[in-house]
Structure 1
Amino acid sequence: MGGLQHYRMSMDPAIQKLGTMTTNRHKYFRWTPRTARITFMYAVFVPAVFAFMAYQTDGKYDMRAKRKGDLVSEY
């Protein structure tokens, strides 16, 4: 059948601009106090908190072979 090709969508300029911006984001990145703070939080602070919690509770809980009424914590 002839006529329009209905499977094609018209390109939205806003979606094209968003795609271009996402693709080229590394070209326009700058270290600012805000980005440095966010990077520090995700790269250093959050893993340090999880590591501290893991070391504090290491060996404290035993989940294997527990029966009804047994305590989960070892000390």
Structure 2
Amino acid sequence: MAGDHNLLKVDPAIERWAHLRENTHLYFGWNKRNVRAAALWMVAVPVGLTILAYKTDVSLLM
């Protein structure tokens, strides 16, 4: 046991995923799918939450 350095098996799929995850800036490109997702998370979600907050605000009803 003193000289064993590889106690875990390395999964190539996980290693590839980790490499892509760490180097996203090299592999990312804007396309229709990414623009749609960005618009959803940067515009639609905040606007929807703001509308929900105003509709459920009790102090406006009194």
User: Is this a same-fold pair by TM over 0.5?
Assistant: yes
Q: Which residue of 1 aligns with 2:50?
A: 51
Q: CA offsets per residue over residues 12-51 of structure 1, 9 Å max, x none?
A: 2222111111111121111111110111001110110110
Distance 1:32 1:22 in 2: 18
CA RMSD of aligned residues (A): 2.5
Greater fraction helix: 2
Over alpha carbons, which structure has the higher Rg?
A: 1
1:13 matched to which residue of 2? 12
Corresponding residue for 2:28? 29
The structure showing larger relative contact order (alpha-carbon pairs under 8 Å, at least 6 residues apart) is: 1
Q: How many residues are matched?
A: 61
Structure 1 residues 29 and 6 mapped into 2: Cα distance closer, same or farther (>3 Å)?
A: closer
Alpha-carbon distance in 1 for matches of 2:11, 2:28: 25
Structure 1: which 4+ aligned runs deviate by more than 4 Å? none
Structure 2: where are the runs of 5+ without partners? none
- For normalisation by structure 1, the TM-score amounts to 0.64
